[in-house]
């Protein structure tokens, strides 16, 4: 397992929720933009889908990579700890994103 040398850096721990934050900002901006400009609602749904799917993919990638790293045999204790943390945070970030996007499936964007 020498493919991935991360996490060498502590701040890597912030990455899953950084994706969450970016996703949150984008979804909120798309909704605001579409409603303020009176564009068709399809644009809102389409835009949200376009940012949500890559966001899920990115967090899943981060989480799986970290999980594999945490399972690897040749990793020092503190690095294994960081990898486990990133894996768990990725799971939480996915849940948070599901929680964020859920209302979009239930509500009309501009009411």
Partner 1 sequence: MSVAALSPAERERRLAALQRIWDNGPGLPGQLTAVNHSTIALRFVVTGLAFMLVGGLLSMFIRLQLAWPGAQVLDPERYNQFVTLHGTTMMFLFAVPIMEGFAMYLLPKMLGARDLPFPRLSAFGWWCYLFGGLFLYSSLLFDAAPDGGWFMYVPLTDATFSPGKGPDFWLIGVTFAEIAAVTAAVELIVAVLVTRAPGMDIRRMPLFAWAILVMAFMIALGFPPLILASILLELQRAFGFVFFDPALGGDPLLWQHLFWLFGHPEVYIIFLPAAGVVSMIVPTFARRPIVGYAWIVLALVSTGFLSFGLWVHHMFAVGIPLLALAFFSAASMAVAIPTSVQVFAWIATLWAGRPWLRLPMLHILGFLVVFVLGGLTGVMLAFVPFDWQAHDTHFVVAHLHYVLIGGLMFPLFAGLYYWLPLVSGRMPSESIGRVAFWLVIIGFHLTFVPMHLTGLLGMPRRVYTYSPALGVEWLNLLSTAAGFALAVGIVAILVDLGLCFAHGRRARANPWRAGTLEWAVPTPVPTYNFASVPEVDGAYPLWRDRGLRERAARPDGLLGDPVHGRRELLGTGIVSARPEQVVFLSGASWLPLACAGVVTVMLACFISGRYLAAAACVLPLVALFCRWAWTTGWAGAPATVDAGQGRVLPSQYACRNAPGWWAVVITMLIIGSLFASLVFAYFYLWLGSAEWPPLGMGDGRPGLGHYAILALLALAWLGGATATAALRADPRRRRRVVAPALVAAVAVLAAALLQLWLPAVSPGPPQAHAYASVVWTLAGFCAVNLLVAALLCLQVAARVGQRLVDAARPLEWRVAHAFLRYAVGQAVVGWAVVHLFPVLQ
Binding site for partner 1 (CB under 8 A): 7-10, 13-14, 17-18, 20-21, 24, 27-28, 31-33, 35-37, 76-79, 81-82, 84-85, 88-89, 92-93, 95-96, 99-100, 102-104, 106-111
Q: How far is the CB of 71 from partner 1 (least distance, A)?
A: 16
CB 8 within 8 A of CB 2: no
Q: How far is the CB of 46 from partner 1 (least distance, A)?
A: 15
Contacts 24+ apart (CB under 8 A), 5-11: 6/65, 6/69, 7/66, 7/69, 7/79, 7/82, 7/83, 7/86, 8/79, 10/82
Instruction: Strands of 11-79 (E only): list them.
Output: none
Q: How far is the CB of 55 from partner 1 (least distance, A)?
A: 14
Which CB sits closer to partner 1, 28 or 61? 28
Q: How far is the CB of 26 from partner 1 (least distance, A)?
A: 11
């Amino acid at each position: 397992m020498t493919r991935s040398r991360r996490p060498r850096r502590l701040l890597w721990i912030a990455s899953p929720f950084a994706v969450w934050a970016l996703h949150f900002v984008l979804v909120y901006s798309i909704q605001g933009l579409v409603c303020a400009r009176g564009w068709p609602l399809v644009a809102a749904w389409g835009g949200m889908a376009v940012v949500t799917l890559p966001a899920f993919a990115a967090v899943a990638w981060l989480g799986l990579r970290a999980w594999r790293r945490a399972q690897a045999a040749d990793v020092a204790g503190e690095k294994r700890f960081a990898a486990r943390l990133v894996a768990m945070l990725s799971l939480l970030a996915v849940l948070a994103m599901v929680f964020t996007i859920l209302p979009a499936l239930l509500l009309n964007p501009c009411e």
